[in-house]
Chains A and B, each alone.
Chain A
Amino acid sequence: MVRMRHVLIILTFLAGATASRALAQATPLSVPYTMDTLANGLRFIVHEDHSVPTVTMNVWYHVGSGDEKRGRTGFAHLFEHLMFMGSENAPYPAFDRLLEGAGASNNGSTTEDRTNYFEWGPSNAAPLMAWLEADRMGFFLSTMDQEKVDLQRDVVKNERRQRVDNQPYGRAWETIGRMLYPRSHPYSWPVIGSMADLSAATLDDTREFFRTYYAPNNAVIVLAGAVTAADIKTLMEQYFGEIPRGPSITRPVPPSFTLARDTLAMLEDRVQLPRVYYAWHTTKAYAPDDAALDIVAYILTGAKNSRLTQRLVYEDQLASDIIAFQDGKLLDGDFIVRATARPGHALPEVHHVIEEEIARLGAEGPTLRELEQAQNSVESTFLNRLERVLAKADLLNGYYYFTGEPDYFARDLARYQAVTAADVQRAVATYLHAPKVILSVVPDGKPELAVQGTEVTP
């Protein structure tokens, strides 16, 4: 029950890839909400949408792998799994079974920056969702035992096998994190953690983690759908009001860093085609250049006529796929380009074109039409996300966490509309002309297909 890092960053990219000036004027982009805070510090946000008789509850705990320490990597995600193992009044396996019995579904996910839990189903199921979430927020710890930790540890290790170890190119992402970020930076390890650290996690770690992070004052809950704000307020007070406040939390302040020079590495894997990954250190989500970097990514690979896609996949036919995205997170950010060579081609050929096109974008900037195409595409994505209450609820929570304003939709779109050709040029010059990580993943026994240079041990 997690989105792994590579899935997540693609979602972030899509979220970042949208907008049209005239349309925004015609369509006020707004998701109205009410927000309240209980005495114990729990914030809740309600968005009414009566178009379909469904409701979703979306809980964000402000903790992720970014809060972990070396030696205990993967713990935030392992803990997410434990939250489904029952609480005092809803012992395992009541959580999933009661929801399914009411026609509702649920899931959870962990990223570097937060852990979320969400339910969706018919609107009459809201009290059940509140009861279940309140029980595991307030009445959880006494039910945790070694057996549950061991069992979910096995499930998470299976998840790691399925998503990382048994996937082609599966180890690339964690290798890039290790190469790009300093060892003391929490983004240097993967959300899912290492097998050794998962083995080392103890029952005491679990208790400590819960007491620190799973408190009402470290959570925000969004309820969206065919409900009324007044009813939800009563519900929240009834179910969550008596849960005691936890300690205040200091989030880590990772070291600032710059990459001194290009860092090159190669992995051999059981794959047919060689693939190259580039990673640059950029900037946080919602930082001044974050939107410009999303636009840069679009201009490079967002559509068939984007520069790298058109040249590498269509014209020169050196690559079978290519994607670029800015991955702005809470504490830091990075920009990724990933390309797979076509059969019969080696990565140095692909590498040459990527360097050339990035240099050209930096030197010449985009055309007005390219910029408008990117902005229109971004705007359309914003509209599409307004169709589902599930998406709106998660966005309200995310906007609140990152910007302090749940209904940040219009202002988020405005960030993209404000990007100029000069901004694009400057973003390329500032971030993509700086030293980078280059990782080649090649078929076993074919190191000659890799981008050549002086390697470091990944």
Chain B
Amino acid sequence: MTHRFLVTLGLAVLSAPAVGGAQAIDRTKPPVLAPPPSLQLPDIATATLPNGLTLHVVEMREVPLVQFTLAVAGGGREDHAVPGLASFTADMLDEGADTLDAFGIAALAEYYGANLRTTASWDEIRVSLKVPRRNLDPALALMAAVTLRPTFRSTEVTRQRDLRLARILQERDRPETVASLAFNAIVFPERHPYHASLTGDSLSTVGLDSTVVRNFYHQVFCAGRATLIVTGDMDLAEARAATQRHLGAWQECSPAPLRAVEAKHDLPSPVTLTIDQTRVYLIDKPGAAQSVIRIGGPGISRHHEDYIAIEVMNTILGGSFSSRLNSNLRETKGYTYGARSRFSYRPMPGPFTAGASVRTDVTDSSLVEFFREIRAIRDAPVSPTELERAKAYLALGLAGDFETTSQMAGNVAELLTFGLPLTYYNDYVQRVMAVTGEEVQRVARHHLRPDNVAIVVVGDLARIREDVEALALGPSTVRDLFGQPVAAD
């Protein structure tokens, strides 16, 4: 089975004949551009092995490299009884497998010129291998070993646990990290999977041992929960043969997927997750050179019908260099090196976040400008020029996202993660270009809620607190470096 991508990067703002002639150019006007090229994405060929492992292959012959990306369903949203467990389990895969220890695995991978990575996202654990084609076979054997036969030895688990504890300690040094972790802990209630960090906290990490890790691994790792994406210098037949050779013995699992997170932990339904009123959370970093600001709340699902319109709206608000937030706070006011906003898409709705690092003495003025822009895009229609620019930026920028084997694998994996059709991009450009100014305003009104957001500010409270509270944006409290209430405030 193959899925054909053919994307015409059509409907450009500047669409007329190409620049011609020899010398005479009119320098006073931008050149009139030829129509945008069509982007012919390669086919995605699909096969399923007898053990239930599904494989998608995209042939890319430009450079003699092959990437194998194995995505196993079961990431951070499954582990929140022990936050960080999925990520830790992923980290442990290449710390020992078969008779190899961590050094043995690294020595082989590097000798083959392979980049072998084991990571966890909110939704899945990924094992990925990028290797020169000629070394694929031994490298794939190594990838199979860490996937199928990790050892999780106690000494290795303890060592990685202690390393992770050191890193968690260091996270408190970076004000941006403090702000983001506190923001998540505040926006998502306790026991919501996104309340904690994907990599856990010191409390959840300190209890990790090889039994806990091994149990999670066995709960998650089986062929029927996995999808393999192969991109690069290889076709379907070659990829299938190589996969069968190395991963063919992997056990099929009885397809008893983990229960949905919502049911398992009796969470508030994601659609009703709201913030009752705008509140300010202040975190003290005495002597900080800047204040780090995060503003936002629960966002939307990747499947939301407004997804495309929201992406266009956010490109105008804070998703591009020319966006309103960046133009205002960086280019006009000089408050910051950059201001941005984004909707994060995860299996359950992730957050909407706007933010910047701003000069300490304009912390309050920066908050005023953030709210001015968030309200403005709700209150008035965007200009036709802004709208066309944002749509072209999203639609025509697509070609650059499919250049490398890693980008291709990432894009295909994202479609699979969210259960979107492999033909998704076929009409992506048309759908972006169809968004109207009315829709932009409608989704702004519906999805940006300036009266129902959390505002997190990490900075030198002795210098900013009074001014920020004088804005009366909402009730204000001081939180500690972990986003938790401070006893005596």
B365 at the interface (CB under 8 A from A): no
A343 CA / B162 CA spacing, docked (Å): 9
A272 touches B39 (CB 8 A): no
Instruction: Report chain B residues within 8 Å CB of A239.
Output: 25, 27
A101, B387: Cα distance in complex, Å: 9
| B residues in contact with A343, CB < 8 Å | 165-166, 169
Contact A304 B130 (CB under 8 A): no
Question: Whose C-beta in chain B lies nearest to the C-beta of A123?
Answer: B37
Q: Is the interface of B mostly helix, strand, loop or mixed?
A: mixed
A332 to B60 Cα, complex, angstroms: 40
The interface-forming segment of A58-66, A152-160, A246-254, A287-295 is A152-160
Is B289 engaged at the interface, CB distance under 8 Å to the other chain?
Answer: yes
Which chain A residues numbered 15 to 56 have a C-beta less than 8 Å away from chain B? 20, 22-23, 26-27, 49, 51-54
Tell me how many residues of B have a C-beta within 8 Å of chain A: 90
Minimum CB–CB distance for B44 against chain A, Å: 16
The yes or no answer to A103 lying at the interface (CB within 8 A) is yes
Interface status of B288 (Cβ within 8 A of chain A):
yes
**Cβ of A124 and Cβ of B34 under 8 Å apart?**
yes
Q: Is A346 an interface residue (CB 8 A)?
A: no
A165 interface residue, CB < 8 Å from B? Answer: yes
**Do A54 and B19 contact each other (CB < 8 Å), given the known contacts A97-B389, A131-B31?**
no
Contact partner of A101 (CB less than 8 A), chosen from B14, B19, B23, B167, is B14
State whether the Cβ of B359 lies closer than 8 Å to any Cβ in chain A.
yes
Selected from B30, B112, B132, the residue in CB contact (under 8 A) with A131 is B30
A 123-159 contacts with B by CB, 8 A: 123-125, 127-128, 130-132, 134-135, 139, 151, 154-155, 157-159
Q: How far is the CA of A346 from the CA of B11 in the complex (A)?
A: 62
Instruction: Check if A270 is an interface residue, CB within 8 A of chain B.
Output: yes
Stretch at the interface among A255-263, A385-393, A406-414, A430-438: A385-393
Instruction: Report, as a range, how many residues of chain A touch the other chain.
Output: 35 or more
Point out the residue from A22, A139, A373, A388 that lies within 8 Å of B110, measured CB to CB. Answer: A373
Q: Which residues of chain A come closer than 8 Å to B321, judged between CB atoms?
A: 96, 100, 105
Contact B334 A154 (CB under 8 A): yes
Contact present for B399 and A53 (CB under 8 Å): yes
Cα(A23)–Cα(B167), bound, Å = 38
Interface membership of A212, Cβ < 8 A: no
Residues of B104-119 whose CB lies within 8 A of A:
104-107, 110-115
CA distance A54 to B401 in the complex (A): 10
Does B395 have its Cβ within 8 Å of any Cβ on chain A?
A: yes
Contact of B396 with A320 in the complex, beta carbons under 8 Å: no
Q: Which residue of A lies closest to B327 (CB)?
A: A93
Q: Chain B residue with minimal CB distance to A156?
A: B337
6 A-B pairs closest in CB distance: A103-B396, A154-B334, A380-B113, A53-B37, A168-B173, A165-B289
What are 17 A-B contacts with C-beta separation under 8 Å?
A27-B64, A54-B400, A89-B27, A100-B322, A103-B398, A123-B37, A124-B37, A158-B358, A162-B337, A372-B111, A373-B110, A373-B111, A376-B112, A380-B113, A383-B63, A386-B62, A387-B405
Q: Which residues from chain B sit less than 8 Å from chain A, CB to CB?
A: 9, 12-14, 18-19, 22-23, 25, 27-31, 33-39, 60, 62-65, 102-107, 110-115, 130-132, 134-135, 159, 162-163, 165-167, 169-170, 172-175, 285, 287-290, 292, 320-322, 327, 330-331, 334-337, 357-359, 388-390, 392-393, 395-400, 402-406
* Extra contacts besides A105-B397, A270-B285, A320-B163 (9): CB < 8 Å: A103-B36, A128-B33, A139-B27, A155-B336, A161-B359, A166-B288, A237-B23, A270-B287, A384-B130
